[in-house]
Amino acid sequence: MNLTQLRYFVRVAEMGSFSKAAIELDVAQPALSRQVRLLETDLRVTLLQRTGRGVLLTEAGKRLYDHAVSILQLVAHAREDISANRDEATGRIVVGLPPSMGRMLTLPLVDAFKQHLPKARLAIVEGLSAHIVEWISTGRVDLGLIHNPDANPAIETLHVLDEPLCLVSAAPKARAPARPAAPLPFGELVKLPLVLPEPSHAIRKLLETQAALAGLKLTIAYEVSSVSAILELVRSGHGHAVLAPSAITASGQASAFRMRPLAGSVLSSTLCMAVSAHKPATPLVKQAMRLLRELVQASVEKSPLHNRMR
């Protein structure tokens, strides 16, 4: 087993095709196939299942893929650490963003890197907070934004901001002058048909916990994981949602919704930055953390919707 074989294997797994991976790696397909077969022979397992449409990872392949990604990330970090000046932010960094934050921050983050970190290479991936935590733990992601993190010895977190959750409903069709809505008591919230994410989602957990403490039960109309899909159902009149103002801002359709604060302000979404607890922060990671924190605060706290819900 060698690094070239692992790099070839990872690329084939990610592309799902030997031919596509060969083009991406700029190597001949027979040479690529030979290296992967040597890897399979060395490990005495089948890593990839060939199909009419490409290749799929076997169970052994899935396990090796996780190891290979971590190994290649560590090698890349080692090279960058050795070659970079002690205080110079150079190399490649992978930033993980939740979907709502990704829509707001991708362009500003790319622009900020070009201006302040021109020698760095930025990669951005999107995923739910639980996925980002897993990616940081396995070395696939260097820095991420996560909502309402649980205690985890594999990551270190830094508080960025708190956003009050609010009831999100479809805006009335009649264009009457908008009036500030009175806070909604939690006892009234549970009576409304709600479009919520799956039980493992941070906001769903908060609502379920609050309902249990109050001896109440939520009225769940639909369970949908995607925030954009939740908002589409709400906009179409299929129920109400409970979200942070940043999710509405990121949708680009704020005028299609009406937001109402929740009474008591016991429900809020906490946004944190997360990094690995087992790797020292490089100059690039430290600089990226500073930029990301500034961008989040500028994008979220200056939002009219955010200020309206405070």
Residue count of the chain: 310
* Residue 111 near residue 243 (C-beta atoms within 8 A): no
Regions in the chain scoring below 50 on pLDDT: 310
Torsion of CA 58, 64, 69, 72, to 10 degrees: -140
Q: Give the per-residue pLDDT at 51.
A: 86
The CA distance from 137 to 93, in Å, is 15
Please tell me the predicted confidence (pLDDT) of residue 85. 56
**Within 28-98, where are the H helices?**
29-43, 59-83
Give the tens place of pLDDT for each residue, 45-94.
999 998 888 899 999 999 999 999 989 888 887 777 676 555 667 788 99
Q: Which two tokens stand for residue 96?
A: 């993980």
The pLDDT of residue 303 is 57
CA pair distance 245, 306, nearest whole angstrom: 5
CA-wise closest residue to 220 among 245, 236, 197 = 197
Which pLDDT value is given to residue 58?
94
- pLDDT score of 93: 92
pLDDT reported for residue 160: 92
Which value, to the nearest 10 degrees, does the dihedral of the CA atoms of residues 34, 39, 44, 50 take?
-60
Strands (E), 48-154: 48-51, 54-57, 91-97, 120-126, 143-147
**Domains within the chain, CATH numbers bracketed:** 3-67 (1.10.10.10), 88-160+270-309 (3.40.190.10), 163-268 (3.40.190.10)
Q: Distance (Å, rounded) from C-alpha 157 to C-alpha 153?
A: 10
Q: What is the pTM of this model?
A: 0.66
Interatomic CA distance for residues 199 and 220, integer angstroms: 11
**Per-residue b or e along 90-119, where b marks 16 or more CB atoms closer than 10 Å to that residue's CB:** bbebbbbbbebbbbbbeebbeebbeeebee
